[in-house]
Amino acid sequence: MADSDSVADPEAPALLPAALLAALEQTLQGSGGDADAPGLTAIVHVEGSAPWVGAYGLASVDPALPASGDDRFRIGSITKTFVTAAVLQLVQEGALGLDDALDDHVGGFDLGPEVTLERLLSHTAGLFNYTDDPLFLAQGETAATPQEVVEWALAPPHEPPFAPGEGFLYSNTGYFLLGLVLEAATATPLVALLRSRLWGPEGLDDTFLDGSEAIAGGMAEGHVLGSEAPPFDMSWAWAAGAGVSDVDDLCRWAHELYGGDVLTEAMREAMINAV
């Protein structure tokens, strides 16, 4: 080995202490079975140090494939952080206003002036959460447009839980509407908007919107309570939860969303303190 090969790169981030690395790996392997899933990945990042990434179990049961720190998984409602950031960027640019009524941007639902973008973002718009109806799983076996999902969510027997601004209910329905607002305001499909505004600029090359684009390289199989997930068309998750990513992209995204320049400081504070 040449002398130059044995000299550490002074620009490379330092590794976490060996004892901490060993403890992290032992914790992951010792408790991974408690997740009631065949496999999982985890990341720990301390500012100034190289991140630790670990994997437990299997990414696929049949055929059996070991989990890897590079695996992509469905990220569920973390998808909402991307939708929120895109909406708030357009607010910063003056294309949208937090006090805008949903009806000003998306026609056909007639929800009234009190259902505003701010209330949709903060889950205070008083909209029924369509995933609270167990029948949505049966509905989700067939592809639907975002408009069709919202229409089903607002149709009887689904009643508004409270008047807009008079309570809080976590509502996936609201984030479908925000996705429609983004498309209407930019004349761009949601997946293309997220990629051009957020995923591309932030280098999130392993982040996708399942059901709206091909996932290059694939992802780990989804499981529910230890069994392979039942058939489900991801059009029923869309802006509320159809994201796919890996731990490295998500760690980078959290750093940039809460400490980078994705949003202005004032807008970031408004996002954090919305509820």
Name residue 80's amino acid: K
Q: Report CA dihedral (25, 226, 243, 103) to the nearest 10 degrees.
A: -140
**Which residues have CB under 8 Å from 250's CB, separation 6+?**
43, 75, 78
Is residue 13 very low, low, confident or very high in pLDDT (cuts 50, 70, 90)? Answer: confident
On whether the CB atoms of residues 52 and 81 are closer than 8 A, the answer is: no
**Each residue's pLDDT tens digit, 21-49:** 999 999 999 988 887 788 889 999 998 89
Which position has the higher pLDDT, 2 or 166? 166
**Each residue's pLDDT tens digit, 83-120:** 999 999 999 999 999 999 999 999 999 999 999 999 99
pLDDT of the residue at 3: 46
Give the mean pLDDT of the chain. 91
Read off φ and ψ for residue 56, nearest 5 degrees: -130, 140
**Each residue's pLDDT tens digit, 117-142:** 999 999 999 999 999 999 998 888 89
* pLDDT higher than threshold 80 for residue 4: no
Mean local confidence (pLDDT), 67-80: 94
**Each residue's pLDDT tens digit, 167-225:** 999 999 999 999 999 999 999 999 999 999 999 999 999 999 999 999 988 888 776 65
pLDDT of the residue at 6: 45
Read off φ and ψ for residue 223, nearest 5 degrees: -135, 150
* pLDDT higher than threshold 70 for residue 149: yes
**Each residue's pLDDT tens digit, 245-274:** 999 999 999 999 999 999 999 999 989 886
pLDDT of the residue at 275: 52
pLDDT of the residue at 1: 41
Q: Is the dihedral of CA 138, 140, 143, 147 positive or negative?
A: positive
pTM: 0.91
**Which residues have CB under 8 Å from 153's CB, separation 6+?**
127, 128, 129, 130, 173, 176
pLDDT of the residue at 227: 58
Give all strands of the β-sheet with 73-76 in edge-to-edge order.
73-76, 243-245, 208-209
pLDDT of the residue at 237: 96
